Each structure stands twice: as C-alpha cells, then as structure tokens.
Chain A
Amino acid sequence: MITFISPTLDYALLAPILIVLGGALIGVLIEAFAPRSARGSSQLFITLATLVLSLASLIRVRSGASTTAAMESVTFDGAGVLLQGSILIIAIISVFLLADQESFTALAAALPGSDEERTSLQQDLKLTEVYPLALFAVAGMLLFPVSTDLITLFVALEMLSLPLYLLAGLSRRRRLMSQESALKYFLLGAFSSAFFLMGIAYLYGYSAAVTFSGIHAAVIGGAGNGVYLLLGIAFLSVGLLFKVGAVPFHAWSPDVYQGAPTAVTAFMAAATKVAAFGAMLRIFYVSFAEAYWQWRPALIVIALITMVFGSLVAIAQRDVKRMLAYSSIAHAGFLLSGVIALNKSGLDASIFYLFAYGVATVGAFAIVTLVRDAAGEVTDLNRWSGLGKRSPWVATAFAGFLLAFAGIPLTSGFIGKFSIFSAAYESGSTAILITGVLSSAIAAFFYIRVIVLMFFKDPVEDGTSVVIPSVYTQITIAISAVVTFALGIYPTPLINLIQSTAQFLR
C-alpha cells in the first residue's frame, strides 16, 4: 500500500512566491467576473499591490536561511533573496509599462485583418489579461533561481516561459510579426526545454538524485558514469543558455525582442535574464563546481563568442529594438564571465550586474515606447536622428541608459562591468578580461553612434514625434534613470549588501 507523506512547507519563506501566485489567480477571477470597464484599473492595482506585498514579505524574511523550505526542492538563502528582490523590483517598474494599453492588441483571439479585429478596435476593447500573465511569469521567475531540485527547476522554467510566449504575441501593431515571433519563441523554447529535460535525465542517471546537493555529492564521490555527467551538464546548459540568449542559442532573441510589444520586451529582457542567470549561477556553483575543469573551457568559449558576436552584429542594426537585442546578447556574454569565475566575487559581481542591467534595460525600452508616429512606435534608428533637439529630456535619458550599457563611468554599467571582469580575471580567465574589454569597446561604438545620431544630426521631417509620456511611463523612466546613475556614483551600499549576504546554501 502506498503511504502518503504530506510535505512540510515553510510558508513564511515561500510567501513571496505564493503571494504572487495568489495575486495572479485574483487577476484571473477579475477577468472572469468584473465588468470590462473596471478591469484595467483594478488589474493594475492588484498587480502592483501583489508585487509590493511580495517584496515586503521577502524583506521580512530576508535573513532566513533554509535548505528545506519545501522539502529539498527550494533553498532559501542570501543569493536567492537578492535575486528574488531584483526580479520583484524590475517587475514593479515594468508593470507601469504594461499599463500603457496602446501597445496591446484589443482582442488577442481575433485573427489579424479579420472583421472581429476591426469590431474590437472600434469598440475600443482593452486587453487586461496581460497582468495575470505577467504575474504568473514573475512567480516562475521567483521560483527559478531558488529551485534546488531538477524537477522544480524544470517546472519553474515552464512556468515563467509559457506566459511569456503568450505575451510576446499580443502586439497591437504589426500583429503578424508579433504572432510570428511568439510562435518562434514557443517552438524554439520547447525545443530547448527538451534538451533541458534530457539533461535532467542524464544527471539523474549519473547521480541517482534530482536534488542539487545530491548531484554535488555524486560529483565529489566520483562513483557515477562520467559520460552521463558530461551529457547532463551539456544538455542542461543548452536549456539555460537558450534562456539567457547566449550564442549559438540566441537566434530567437532579436526576432522576439522586435516582434513582442515593447512593454513585454522590457519585462522579458530584464527579468528573465535575472531569473535564468540566477538559476544558472546556482546550479553551476552548487552542483557542478567540483567538475569545473570539464565545463569551464566550453563555457569560456561560448562567453567569448557571445560577447564578440553580440557586439559586432549590433553595429549593423538599423532597428533600435534589434540593436538592444544584440546588445543584450553581448551582455549575456559578459554575464557568463560571472558564472565562469566560480568565486565569491564572481557571484557578487553577477548579482550586481544583473540588477543594474535589468533596470537600465527596462528604462531603455520604456523610452522606445515613447518615440512614435501615426502608425505606432518608430524603431527605425535613422528616424531617431535629431531626437535630442526635439525632445532633449527623452534623448538625454536614452543616452544615459546607452552609456550604462556601454559601461561609461558614473553609470551602474561601469561598476558592473568592472567588477565582473575583475572577478573573471581573479579566477585566471585572462582571455575573458581581454575579450570583454575589447568587445566593450566595440559595443561602446554603436551606443555612441546612436547618441551622436540623436544629438548631432538634423531631425528628419516625417512626423516622428515623441508622445508625452503617461505618468506611468514617466515613473518607469525616472526610477530606472535614478537607479542607473545612483549605482554609478555611489554603489557602495548595494555592493556591501551583496557582499555580506550573497551566498548559496548547499
């Protein structure tokens, strides 16, 4: 007879995730029962309240540490708190972008060009499903970097991915392109998930365990079949590298970044990166650390290719969203050096970098939503020329974010790059340091080119204009800009916080 042992859960430590899930369910109920007119504002309120509440409960339990918060599936530790906190903060500031309904289609189920679509546009329907979808994704992201067994890790991966596939297809304009990108994202995501699962299977075959600590013990013991470990690490890495957009698993990201509604792109680009790198850091630092000589060379090569490829191809982009996508690929390469470093300063630097990069990314995409003409957002870079003359503040803010991406001093990006490269250098990866600095120099070229374009070229007279930002978008941009510069001028408090709390429990 099968006896059922009820799991013991530490609800206080799991509260941040559970609150977000609860909020998402309330959102679903609102969609089902609330009158259409009341949905928009109540959804925004519920979503914000949920995220803030979740952040508050996270802060309340910040010093808690447990490897058995949900049996052995979830570990609650300093690094986990910092990563979850970053995800929540980024989610809060990007939710304001979702509030701008101009970017979403009126009725997601209507075929592009159909009568239904026309009617829905005429009726001025609003799509409010985005809020609960975003919350589900956030819940998955919160779970991803604290999962410590492979099954939970996979569930979290799917939980964060599925809502994102949907969100990517909801653009109001150029719907076919948006839906195409969503389908691409979904197909390729499913493909890489298959690799990921395959990796789990091999790792189980190697260690007869699905928990990170079990795998770690098996690696130290060295009793398992080495080939299984090798295949397991490789396949699992494919799934993770796909999510972070490292070359050669990056091909989806320019298309999806371009096709998805910009508000979604902002959220996806920033928060997914934190979650995916968080999970990657944890599994490599906790489970595979002792087998580093097997995977490190391959990962170094991937990091180098990613940095160089992202930076080089970004130069050739004519579309601002594609340019930011390739820049995010290059940043994935820089971030990989934190995984490769495999030391405490690498972990600290990665967490700082993830937070700083995430915030700047949300800010940059928020600005993209502002530059429009009659047909919607203008993403053709040539038409951004002279923006600095027409809208100095918007152009200045965008220039600030670009400088942060380029890693110019007095922005958060500089501190981030500096610390992550020095961590890689400490661990002996001189190649990473040199390539990183060189590709940063290449990258700086195209960021600066955009700044030159905005400030020193004459405006084109074609009706491109900057809409006056709604108060929501203003909040997003203001917070992102303040954080980006504050972390560049006075990063010490955050660095100290990270240094004193960031660690992985086994």
Chain B
Amino acid sequence: MTMLTNNGLVYLIALPLFGALSLLLLGRRADKWGHLLATGMSAGSFAVGLFQLSEMLGREAESRPVTQKLFTWISVGSFNVDASLLLDQLSICFVLLITGVGTLIHIYSISYMSHDPDRRRFFAYLNLFIAAMLLLVLGDSYLNLYVGWEGVGLASYLLIGFWNQKPAYATASKKAFIMNRIGDMGLSFAIMIAFASLGTVSFSGVKEQAHDASEATMTAIGIMLLVAAVGKSAQFPLQAWLGDAMAGPTPVSALIHAATMVTAGVYLIVRSNFVFDAAPNAQLLVVIVGAITLMFGALVGTAKDDIKKALAASTMSQIGYMILASGLGPAGYAFAIMHLLTHGFFKAGMFLGAGSVMHGMNDEVNMRRYGGLRKFMPITFITFGLGYLAIIGVPPFAGFYSKDMIIETALNAGGAKGIILGSVTLLGAAITAFYMTRVMILTFTSPKRWDDNQHPHESPILMWLPMVILSIGSVISGFLLYRGEALKHWLEPLFEEHGEHTELLPPIVVSGLALLMVALGVALAVVKYQLSEVDAVAPENVTEFTRVARRDLLQDEINETLFMRPGQVITSALVKIDESVIDGAVHGIGKMALGSGSFLRKSQTGFVRSYAALILIGAVALIAAIWVVTT
C-alpha cells in the first residue's frame, strides 16, 4: 500500500522550532516580544494540525495516513533510514493534544512567568519542547522517534532545572536525567535488536515482519521498549523522578509532566502494538508494571501535603491505568489513548489550577496551609473542581468514560488475570477518589489555615482563561470520544483485529461498582478531612503506612541501596583496579616476560620499561595467536 504524501507536515515541527531558535539566538533583544512569538508559533502549529485533521476526515479510513520524506538520513550499505514524518489516526490525536494544550499553557505562562527576568528563555524551551514532542509522535521509524525522545528529555531537564539557582532543583533535574537515561538505553537496545534481527527500524518494516520473526526476538524488543516507556512515563520501578520534577515552574508540570511528555511511554507501547501482540510475555509485563504503578501512585498520593506532589503522584497512577490498558492488547489500545486524551485535559487543568493557587498564595505549596480558598478564587475553584470530578470518574465527566472502559476491559481480560486486574483498577478508583477529594477539601472547602500575611486572590484573565477552556475539555471530551465508540473506530484501522471477548460482568454492573468505589473513597475523605479538624502542620503521630507513604513508599531509599551505592562501589573499585590490578598486571607481565625482577625494582622510574614490556608481551601474544590460527 503506498501512502499519500503531504508536504505540509514539516510545518507542524518547523514553526515551534523556528520560535525556539530565534528566541535563543536573538537573546535579550527578543525579551519584549519573545513570549508572543512563541505562543504564536505554538498556535500556528495547532492550526496546521486542525487543517490536517480536516483533510484526514475527508478521506477513506485506509488512506488516512500521510507521510512526508524530509531527507535521507542514514544510508549505509543496504540499510536506509529516511528522516520521514508519518501522520496517521494515532499521531493526529497527539498532535492536537500537544499543540492545543501546549498553546493554552503558553498563554497561561505569559502571565505566570511575567515577573521572571528569563521569561524569554523559558518560552524558547517551551517551543523547543513542543517541536521535539511533535517529532517524537510524527517520526515514522524508531530511530526518528528516538531523536524526538531525546529532544523532549533535553527540554524537560532544561525546564525542571529552569530555576537552577536553587540547588535542590538542580538535584531534581539530575535525578530526572539519570533515571531517563536508563529508559533511553532500553529504547536504543530495542532499536539495535530490531536492526540486528529484522534489518529495519521503521514502524511499517517491523510491523511487516512481526509475524514471521521469532517470539523471542519480539519479546526482547518488547521488554526493551517497556523499559523505555517505564523511564519516560515514570512507571515502577523508575518512577522516582516525577515527584522531584515538580521543582520546575508549574506550567511545565502541566504540559510536560502531566499532559504530554510523560505519556510518551503509552504512545510508544500503543505505536508498537504489533510488537506486543506478537510477544504475549512482554505484554503481560506491561500489564504488571501498569497495575503496580497505578496502586503505587495512588497510595503515595494519599499522604502528600505538597499540592503539586499530590498531583504528580496522581499522574503516575493515571498513567499506570493507561499502561495497563495498553498491555491488554487490541481491546485496550483505544481506551489507553482515550484516557490519555481526557487525562491531558483534566490533569493539565488541575495543574494550572494549582499554579493559580500558588500564584495567589505567595508560592505556598503545602496544602495544610491552604483552606477555604473557594471564596477567594472562585474561577480556580470551579475549574479545578470540574477537573476533580473528571479524574475521580463521576458521570458524565470525561474521566468517567475513559476510566470505566479501562476497568471494564481489565475485568474482561479473562480468568484470574481479569479478576485481579479488575479489582486493582476498581480499588485504584476508590483511592483516587479519596486522595483527590482530600486535595479538594484541604485546598478549597475546609476552614482556612493560612495566616494574615497571605492575601489570596484570583489570577488574571490570561491565567484563568486557559483553565476554563481545559475544564470544558474535562467535562465534554470523554463523552465526545466515547459516543458511538468514536475514538475506537477512528483508531481501529491501525490495530490487528481481535476476536470476541468474554464479558465477565455486564457494563452497567461494572459502572455501578466503579461508582460505588468512588463514593466510598469520597465519603472516607469527607469524614476524615471536611468533618474533622485538619492540622496546619503535618501530624507526627501517624500510622507506619502514612509515614512510609510520605516518603514515597521509600523509593529513594530503595534506589539508593539498590543502584546508587553499588554504582559508587563499582566506580571506586574500578579506580582501585586501575591502580593496583592493571598497573600490577603490567609489572607482573613484565617480570614474566623478561625473567628478571631487577628491571622493575623500585619501579617508580620503571614505567617506560613496563610499557615496553607490555608491547613485547603483546607482540608475542599476537604472533602466538596468528600462529595458532594458521597451523
């Protein structure tokens, strides 16, 4: 099947890239108007995306994907990689999410960052991020995706560390950097395995061979892709960086660490559906990772007092839902994407809301020092509240549809797997309802716990307008995507057909169960926080669980003992090896070779001699080796 070509795709990336480069190169000269240019570029890219969507809608389902070849990137022997873009039904969803939410966050940042002397640089990085993220979802091969993957990583570190005069923030971006490197290694291994065993790294090429290749190969590629996804999407066991990444400016948390970049792992898995469909074991691992993370994030979320960290834990958990869904095979892909899109709306909206609260509260992030803000920030309260209703899954808000579908699909996965996954997702829904209600109560509806130095106030229009638009999205997007299985049919041509699945419980019962769980979670939170007094300082006499959850279920301690210490030991051991073993070996070999210890006696001056001895040994060994081979 030849695909249509469309030479307009490059503009999607070129516009924000142009913005980023001109802001960086012009420097201070662009201070006055840089943010406007950046916002314009992002909006322009969104317009191109809308145009592409309208074109796409006008075509038959099979001929919807379009490509554009930019240039031949690598051409080595029989191996060719073009720098090509691919826009299909899956990538258009992401393009619109990235540029749409991205533009809103640009607008929000104009006001949010207005007092920062480096606002221009901030917008340059934002545009850079948009360009890289678009490249990630538009690349037509794993190699092109990898370029975007590294690009968003770079933009993410730059933005987390944007206020890098504070050491803690610099440490946070370092942690994100290292944890992401582990994930990136997974991606590069996946690419290498694909190249070595299949001879191609393009999506279409791998897809064609997915059936014929051995299952072991596919499993290896799948597991490596999962490692990549785990790093980028902050999934267990590489989840630790996300909470610390909240050190970045809040719009960054909304755009990168909630709506778009962290969901790249989900994109990678859904994009590689042909790999996972051919590797059931890797697929099972995906589900397990998703299930663990969804519980992990939810539990951490119950104990966090920092509003951004609570939201970050919730992001982790929601992405766990998506990863879980994408591990359920063809039945789950569409719902993973659906939850990703609705989550993009409500979570970005809530982060912007949190930013708005911080803006009004002198950058206070501790929810125990909030309370009663409903009266002072009505718009923030309503938009945040709509996002809240969406995330806990109250009908007819967006999250209800997407989460409900995931729970249903999980339950219907069959056998014990279905029952376990179904229970985990249901339990997760209850905990989500609990901790989100807690955030809501502590911030907005409980009695005020701030002192009189604080003068909470509503944010300016440039900040609340994006929040309003996103909250509309959190209300209606779920229904729109769900109605008539719109998104499912839209994405269907990309995935393998799947057989009939069994229904463990009728959908209406599942929805009922889910709502019951949500009600339980909400009720518990109301009793605990609304109806009883909340301390302005985190109480010390808490259960062991709370203590552990406050410390992110000990993730840092575990990382330290499992990875950091051994790493340090290995490094220092290597120094020792260099000093003693290698130098020693040089001397030892020298002794053997020359048969005389006198040469190396008191060997501070004997270096050249031992080097020469090494050369001699090498020569002898070389001759011996060639001799052995020859005779």
Contacts and interface: CB of A to CB of B under 8 A. Distances in A.
B575 A316 contact: yes
Nearest to A297: B629
A441 interface: yes
Contacts of B615: 188, 191-192, 195, 238, 242, 248-249, 251
A184 B608 contact: yes
Interface stretch (B86-94, B168-176, B265-273): B168-176
A21 interface: no
B33 interface: no
Nearest to B627: A230
Given A184-B608, A313-B578, A316-B578, A492 B72 contact: yes
Contacts of B626: 230, 233-234, 294-295, 298
A293 interface: yes
Contact of B625 (A231, A301, A422): A301
Interface residues of B, number: 51
Interface in B142-181: 143, 146-147, 150, 161, 164, 167, 170-171, 173-174, 177-178, 181
Interface in A158-189: 183-184, 187-188
B192 A349 contact: no
A505 interface: no
B562 interface: no
B582 interface: yes
A409 B145 CA distance: 11
Contact of B71 (A316, A437, A490): A490
A419 B76 contact: yes
B11 interface: no
A188 B630 contact: no
Interface residues of A, number: 63
A231 B623 contact: yes
A456 B161 contact: yes
B536 interface: no
Contacts of A312: 574
Given A313-B578, A410-B147, A456-B173, A422 B76 contact: yes
Given A234-B622, A409-B143, A316 B574 contact: yes
A446 to B, nearest CB: 9
A422 B79 contact: yes
Nearest to A235: B619
Nearest to B578: A316
Contacts of A92: none
Interface string B599-622: 000000001101110110111011
A389 B174 CA distance: 14
B146 A409 contact: yes
Contacts of A249: 614-615, 618
A425 B197 CA distance: 11
Contact of B582 (A297, A313, A495): A313
B574 A226 contact: no
Contacts of B73: 490-492
Contact of B612 (A187, A423, A457, A491): A187
Interface string A300-332: 011000000000110110000000000000000
A227 to B, nearest CB: 8
B74 interface: yes
Q: Is the interface of A mostly helix, strand, loop or mixed?
A: helix
A345 B629 contact: no
Contact of B74 (A233, A313, A418, A448): A418
A298 B619 contact: no
A458 interface: yes
Contacts of B578: 313, 316
Interface string B223-252: 000000000000000000000000000000
A17 interface: no
A456 B625 contact: no
Interface string B64-75: 000000011111
A418 B76 CA distance: 9
Contacts of A389: 164
B177 A456 contact: yes
A452 B174 contact: yes
B77 interface: yes
A251 B614 contact: yes
Contacts of B618: 238, 241, 247-249
Nearest to A425: B196
Interface of B: 71-77, 79, 143, 146-147, 150, 161, 164, 167, 170-171, 173-174, 177-178, 181, 185, 192, 195-196, 571, 574-575, 577-578, 582, 586, 607-608, 610-612, 614-615, 617-619, 621-623, 625-627, 629-630
Given A195-B619, A297-B629, A410-B150, 18 more contacts: A183-B608, A226-B630, A230-B630, A249-B618, A298-B626, A315-B571, A389-B164, A409-B143, A409-B146, A410-B147, A415-B74, A419-B74, A425-B196, A448-B181, A452-B174, A452-B177, A455-B161, A495-B75
The list of the 4 closest CB pairs from A to B, nearest first, reads: A456-B174, A298-B625, A251-B611, A248-B618
Interface of A: 183-184, 187-188, 191-192, 195, 226, 230-231, 233-235, 237-238, 241-242, 247-249, 251-252, 255, 293-295, 297-298, 301-302, 312-313, 315-316, 345, 348-349, 389, 408-410, 415, 418-419, 422-423, 425-426, 433, 437, 441, 444, 448, 452, 455-458, 490-492, 495-496
